[in-house]
Structure 1
Amino acid sequence: MTRSDLVTLLADRFPQLTQRDTEFAVKTILDAMSDALARGHRIEIRGFGSFSISRRPPRMGRNPRSGEQVQIPEKLAPHFKPGKALRESVDANLPVKD
């Protein structure tokens, strides 16, 4: 599902909101989540999951062309951990293998 799919779905589900209002609400929520993660905060949405920042330590890598060793700096990356309700609902909808 893309952002525009989400906006369309919400606008259809809540007819009192215009497409423009729905788009603004989705953008505001996603911006607030991005800002919180950028500041190092953790986001928890009950029944859905939590977002946090994971630290990737510095390491040595290789340049694939020359084979030369390269120092790769530390990185911070967003991490999503699904909640129990989300895991169970996804697991319940698994296709049956023949």
Structure 2
Amino acid sequence: MNKAQFVELVQKNGDYKTKVEAENAIKAFTEAVTEALVAKKDISLVGFGSFAASLQKGKSGKVPGTDKTYTTQDKMVPKFKAGKSLKDRVAAGK
């Protein structure tokens, strides 16, 4: 599903009059989630899931076929964990 199709789905399910309103709702949601994760705050939407910013440890490794090695830095990454209701609905939709 591409963005335009998702906007239409949100418009239908959210009872928005126009696609612009639905797109603004999506943009507001994604901006709010991003802002909270940048501030290292977790978001929990009961039944849907939770968003969290998590520290991913750096690692070192070897480039295949050469003697070169590399090291990556620690960084913050976004994570999403699906809630029980979401998991159950997706499983039932098979």
Normalising by the residue count of structure 2, what TM-score does the alignment of the two structures yield?
Answer: 0.82
Aligned residue in 1 for 2:22 = 22
Aligned residue in 2 for 1:86 = 86
Task: Tell me the percent identity.
Answer: 30
Number of residue-to-residue matches in the alignment: 93
Deviations 1:18-55 (A, max 9, x none): 22111111111111111111111111111110011121
For 1:67 and 1:17, locate their aligned partners in 2 and report how far apart those are by CA, in whole Å.
60
- Residue 76 of structure 2 corresponds to residue 76 of structure 1: yes
Gaps of 5+ in 2: none
What secondary structure, in the 3-state scheme, does the structure 1 residue paired with 2:31 have?
helix
Aligned-pair CA distance for 1:66: 3.3
Aligned-pair CA distance for 1:60: 1.1
Gaps of 5+ in 1: none
1:34 partner letter: T
Aligned-pair CA distance for 1:65: 5.8
Normalising by the residue count of structure 1, what TM-score does the alignment of the two structures yield?
Answer: 0.79
2:57 partner letter: P
Aligned residue in 1 for 2:34 = 34
2:93 partner letter: N
For 2:4 and 2:47, locate their aligned partners in 1 and report how far apart those are by CA, in whole Å.
23
What secondary structure, in the 3-state scheme, does the structure 2 residue paired with 1:67 have?
coil
Q: Calculate the aligned-residue CA RMSD, in Å.
A: 1.8
